[in-house]
Structure 1
Amino acid sequence: EEEEEEEEEEEEEEEEEEEEGEEKEEQQQEEEEEEEEEEEEEEEEEEEKEKEEEERKNMEIN
């Protein structure tokens, strides 16, 4: 009987560990996606700034 209980406990622990691992993976993926989005936003802002600079230069020339 004790052995059965031990086995059950071990199985439960393994399941918990698996779940924790999956949660960590999901969290990591979310963080990576957020980072990518931030980078894209920064790039877009840079492009906007460059366009504005060019427009300003063109206005000065004219």
Structure 2
Amino acid sequence: MTQSSSEEEEDKVEEDKVEEEKGEVEEEAEEKEHEEVEEEAEEKEDEEVDEAEEEEDEAEEEEDVVEEEAEEEDEEVDEAEEEEDKAEEEEDKAEEEDDRE
């Protein structure tokens, strides 16, 4: 009986070892899964940040284009006003000459 009791103890010790190893393997698997989930979340966040920065850059570029177009229109208006002023001056001069005659 001592032998069977000893065998039972050995079986129990072996069973405990197996359970402990199983627990360690499960814990490692959970840690690995947790790390993978964190990495995926970080990658997704990085991608979202990159996309947001790209959209911001595009918006700034569009804003620059709009500003350039507005400046060009302002220049065209200024040129047209200058030409109009010159035409009025010439008209005034012509009227003065007519008045003198």
Give the TM-score taking structure 2 as reference length. Answer: 0.57
Instruction: Tell me, yes or no, if structure 1 residue 32 matches structure 2 residue 70.
Output: yes
50, 56, 59: which is aligned to 2:94?
56
Corresponding pairs, count: 62
Structure 2 residue 45 is matched with structure 1 residue 3: no
CA distance, structure 1, for counterparts of residue 89 and residue 49 of structure 2: 60
State TM-score, norm by structure 1: 0.87
Aligned-pair RMSD on alpha carbons?
1.1
Who is 1:14 aligned against?
52
Q: Which amino acid aligns with 1:11?
A: V
1:11-61 deviations in Å (ceiling 9; x for gaps) = 110010010111111111111111111111111100100010111111122
C-alpha distance in 1, partners of 2:66/2:99?
Answer: 50
Counterpart Cα distance in 1 of 2:96 and 2:42: 81
**Between Structure 1 and Structure 2, whose CA radius of gyration is higher?**
2
Distance 2:49 2:99 in 1: 75
Q: In the alignment, what sits opposite 2:32?
A: none
